[in-house]
Structure 1
């Protein structure tokens, strides 16, 4: 689905459209397993069919090929939510996180109020906030070497050795320049509140169709963070970096890179569907709650 607007659309899911719920959890986490059974019994009691799966059960782009759920509820922290979301890129299945982690910035529902939120979903439905994901392709010796997605960010950086990375940067057909740095972070609006903002990148509304490009400790250059439209293909060519150079997706998946590799990253609008419950905290309220923005003195 192509969208040239600067913001993502919002979709309303009516309560009558919810008949099958998928619960995704870490089966090795006893707390998540116990809660999963509790959630399952609650939905069944309310006439909703339930399927339970582990977070790594599906590979990217292969989830729910047989029977699609109307809502996918993820029990875990931000890392678990991102891991599951990456497998559901372009599936259009709504995601709802129940926070079992520490930060819980991506989770819509606190554990303490899960029953209240589930009742609101079954009584009033929910909104879908469509979000952008990243499409990543790596070419080596003019052949496709890797392709995949990222929900939060793609980071090109060094490993254990304290060695600078040297990259050529192009946007579309135009060469932007070169950067020498400890690394480079290409982030979605969903992911900028993680590694990117810690490196000096901007905070961006999750509904915007843009990507940010932020260097990590740039050396002898005045390269500032860029914010680019999703329609612009962003290409990086590895000039130097030694054998200890990697592309990391969402801080969870690592791919070794070589000098001469070409990495192309594009934004995919409408690639992720996050369920939003009426009355829950706004984006700016969450920034305040999690310490990203300080409250003004009274």
Structure 2
């Protein structure tokens, strides 16, 4: 059976299209079928050329068919990306040689029941962001874990994230950075008017619950990875738990996550001397 790789890029960016054309050409030179339009069905890998948004879009295609995803960053931070644009020839050679490892990343399954009994479902690899429906008004929520209420407050929003998402929206909201091999769920309130509204980290088997209180008909919306929006009108109940289907990421190098943090955020490490020799 011939090898098949789906190549995804931001079609609205000429430099991304040019890079995807070159990658496709190089893959074909290795005897690999490079597909630009279509699904990830029968593909051994999804190669993504772009920023975080493009990678998240490609994750939808890859997850559907349980295919690993390999991102090459053409954007800014690109935390989900495995390599930068200048390394493309090297990446193609490694892919052609099947010289890559695959790791699983935890996802979220999201459910909403509206006051009229309507059900909505989605998923996310980074986060489910509960946001106020009206710019000038806070949303009133009660949060709970595993069937027990924890706190009620008004806020601009609430981020329910995976460890992978801890360096995305949750990070901007003041949440902790969690290593991706830690299995956990994060709760990060945004601009909450409450004494107890700290970021929390709970176990992977827990179920996070958010009730949008019917206070002055203040509605909310839920954004899944910033790509899929679900309505959560006042009186809705939102549940978020560990996703049944993970996302698989292809890795070329076994770089510690601390190294990725330093590289992506350009963290200062002057003065670090590592393990000192014993006298």
Same fold, TM-score > 0.5, yes or no: yes
Q: How many residues align?
A: 271
Q: Distance in 1 between matches of 2:28 and 2:101?
A: 23
Q: Distance in 1 between matches of 2:244 and 2:180?
A: 11
List aligned pairs for 1:12-161, cutoff 5 A. 19-53=3-37, 63-64=39-40, 67-89=41-63, 91-123=65-97, 125-141=99-115, 143-161=117-135
State the 4+ residue runs in structure 1 displaced beyond 6 angstroms.
none
**Contact 1:187-1:196 within 8 A present in 2 as well:** yes
**Alpha-carbon deviation of 1:266?**
0.7
Could you state the TM-score of these two structures normalised by the residue count of structure 1?
A: 0.83
Q: Distance in 2 between matches of 1:93 and 1:75?
A: 16
Tell me the equivalent position of 2:263.
Answer: 289
CA separation of 1:292 and 1:255: change in aligned 2, threshold 3 A: farther
Q: Which has the higher strand share?
A: 1
**Alpha-carbon deviation of 1:159?**
4.4
List aligned pairs for 1:161-180, cutoff 5 A. 161-180=135-154
**Alpha-carbon deviation of 1:256?**
3.0
Q: Structure 1 residues 190-199 or 232-241, which shifts more?
A: 232-241
Pick one of 169, 175, 179 that aligns with 1:205: 179
Pick one of 233, 256, 268 that aligns with 1:258: 233
Q: Distance in 2 between matches of 1:36 and 1:116?
A: 15
**Contact 1:99-1:110 within 8 A present in 2 as well:** yes
**Contact 1:165-1:241 within 8 A present in 2 as well:** no
**Contact 1:97-1:107 within 8 A present in 2 as well:** yes
Tell me the equivalent position of 1:181.
Answer: 155
**Contact 2:62-2:68 within 8 A present in 1 as well:** no
Tell me the equivalent position of 1:5.
Answer: none
* 2:228 counterpart of 1:228: no
CA separation of 1:87 and 1:201: change in aligned 2, threshold 3 A: same
* 2:251 counterpart of 1:267: no
Q: Distance in 2 between matches of 1:223 and 1:89?
A: 33
**Contact 1:89-1:133 within 8 A present in 2 as well:** no
